[in-house]
Amino acid sequence: MNTATTIDDALGASAATSPSAGFSPSATGSTSSPATASPAPAEASVTTTRIATPAMTPAPRKRSFKLSRKLRQRTLSAIAIVSMFALWELACIVFNISGLILPRPSAIFAVLLEKGPLLWPHAVQTLYTTVTGFAFGVLAGVVLGMIIGSSRFAYDVAYPLLVGFSSIPKVAVVPIFVVWFGAGTVPAILTSMVICTFPVVVNVATGLAHTEPELQDVLKVLGARKLDILWNVGLPHALPYLFASLKIAITLAFVGTVLAETVAANKGIGNVMIIASGNFDVPLVFAGLFILAAMGIMLYVVSSLVEQRVTGWAARGNEVAMG
Amino acid sequence: MNQPFIDLRDVTVRFGAADSETSTLALDRTDLRIDTGDFVALVGPSGCGKSTILKLIGGLLSPSSGGVIVDGREVGGPHRTRIGLAFQNPTMLPWLTVRENVMMPLKIVEPFRQHYRAKKKGEYAERADALLAQVGLTGMGDKRPWQLSGGMLQRASLCRALIHEPQLLLLDEPFGALDQFTREELWGTMQNLWMTQRPTVLLVTHDLREAAYLATRICVMSARPGRILEERNVEFPRPRSIQMSYAPECAELVQALRLRIAEARSDLSPRTPEPSVSLVSAEKEAA
């Protein structure tokens, strides 16, 4: 009951503020329940700062409210997505834009459906390349980050090198990989690996370097070895930093893969897109874009789910103590 | 037994290169002897090198000259004495439960270390729980550190410092960040723990009543560069109570210590002309 009214008023609110009020499927919802809509937003503004921390809701009343808040957020973002497509479609029709320049979303979805079986292996190839490159990149990043972060000397020596290396545009690296390994999957994996290593290195090193010295002292006094401190204090402390970088790295890995695929590959979404654009098959290019976006979101969600599981303590760490 | 447990001989600690202008002399030819089972409190003006002494003994810092001997062995070599350490900041690891935090030393220190995997769910956990119960944290073992208040965390931190039954306990203002009532309560807890385990304790503190309540001996340090000015035995009977810490004898002791430290503080400016001080005097001269 509670959730139902808040969804309604969420929809209503968005319909009222959205410039494309006519598109919202529930514009009627806002007018049907004006009385219930007014108190909810006021309460919402009070609790907005608390929603992110699940352990902070002692009263069950607040809990149910938080749920509806989440639902409201989801509904709003779903509406945003749908209305973006609707606007796009409408703009194409109203301004009579040629399908060669900006195909309508409906046309793109039609292509996706029609050529789905054909595109599928390419999507799998891109996903495989990205995930492999990402895995290697993260592994390399964690190892390098651990070395750099746990030794002042290694930091001083390696950091300038690393910065220099990471500031090379990765497009420029692809031809070198092609010369070394030939066109195909390997250069793509390497490109995505190289591109996603840097943020991981920097974050892991930062996480290790920012470990409280007092914490280390407590272990040092016990006679802990350097490896003990790294394992028991440094690495867990660096985990939230690592996961923050994973979310960046996974999207970068896609960039690397598609980059390499467009330059030198015979498979993969990047390759499909470059061929399609050569044939002026613009809807297919956009279909490729959609597939990339979908896969990117998917992997992002996966990595943030893993993050929540592994480092949930970090999100609650800055909460107020009970006494 | 005739040899002291801790023996600082002629210890000098200098931060920065000896001849550079920015170097500070933290300790100047300090001597300190602590016998086995003693509870020694180090008091003195802030910045006088109390924590430096603690770090020297813990092996976290090496002296520029002189010797630090703990349990008959020079500090700095391969490890040796079992030491527990607690700071003003409880420094609990947020990703572990309170019990796991308390058990941390068992994971590091031999001979517990080799049995840690086998016993962490059984014997060691019981031991942690027993210790937690002793400081009044019954049933808090499964909580996460952020769910505890500052005083509770400090209790847990004391448990962590004591779980491996250290021969030596180093406390760097462990009660400094707590309110008056919690602090006095924890003094009682600390006294209790000391009387059951009888480790040698070195307590660095600003609180003179705390020193009088807990210590068997109080060492007063001079302003930087630090040196032990005076040592006083505290002979109140144990267990001591909070009422005792307000009794006239105790007040007298605290007053005497306070005067001594005030004296040490007033020595501060002529002995170490800080840059800001000399600037002010230069201005005065100019005027």
Q: A308 or A137: which carries more pLDDT confidence?
A: A137
Q: Closest Cα to residue A141, out of A198, A209, A190, A103?
A: A198
pLDDT of residue A216: 83
d(CA A91, CA A105): 11
Contact across the interface for B95 and A313, Cβ inside 8 Å: yes
pLDDT of residue A31: 38
CB count within 10 Å of CB B63 equals 21
Task: Give me the mean pLDDT over the A89-111 stretch.
Answer: 85
| Contact residues, A window 192-221, toward B, CB-based 8 Å cutoff | 212, 214-215, 217-221
d(CA B27, CA B29): 6
Contact across the interface for B109 and A319, Cβ inside 8 Å: no
Contact across the interface for A319 and B146, Cβ inside 8 Å: yes
Asked whether the predicted pLDDT for residue B214 surpasses 50, the reply is: yes
Q: Is residue B191 classed exposed, middle or buried when 0-12, 13-18 and 19+ CB atoms within 10 A define those classes? A: middle
Q: Is residue B77 classed exposed, middle or buried when 0-12, 13-18 and 19+ CB atoms within 10 A define those classes? A: exposed
Q: B39 or B80: which carries more pLDDT confidence?
A: B39
Task: Give me the mean pLDDT over the B236-256 stretch.
Answer: 86
The pTM for the full model equals 0.68
Which of A56, A210, A218 has the highest number of chain B CBs within 10 A, making it the mutation to test binding with B?
A: A218
Q: Which residue carries 């054909």 as its tokens? A: A118
Contact across the interface for B91 and A322, Cβ inside 8 Å: no
pLDDT of residue A234: 85
- At what angle are helices A60-94 and A2-17 packed, to 10 degrees? 40
Structure tokens at B13: 């600690």
Residue A182 identity: G
- CA–CA distances in Å: residue A297 to residues A117, A126, A294, B95, B104: 21, 14, 5, 28, 39
pLDDT of residue A15: 38
Select, from the ranges A23-27, A69-73, A78-82, the one with the highest average predicted confidence (pLDDT): A78-82
Q: Is residue A90 classed exposed, middle or buried when 0-12, 13-18 and 19+ CB atoms within 10 A define those classes? A: middle
User: How many angstroms away from the CA of B147 is the closest CA of chain A?
Assistant: 5
Query: Which of A174-183, B121-130, B259-268 is predicted least confidently?
Result: B259-268
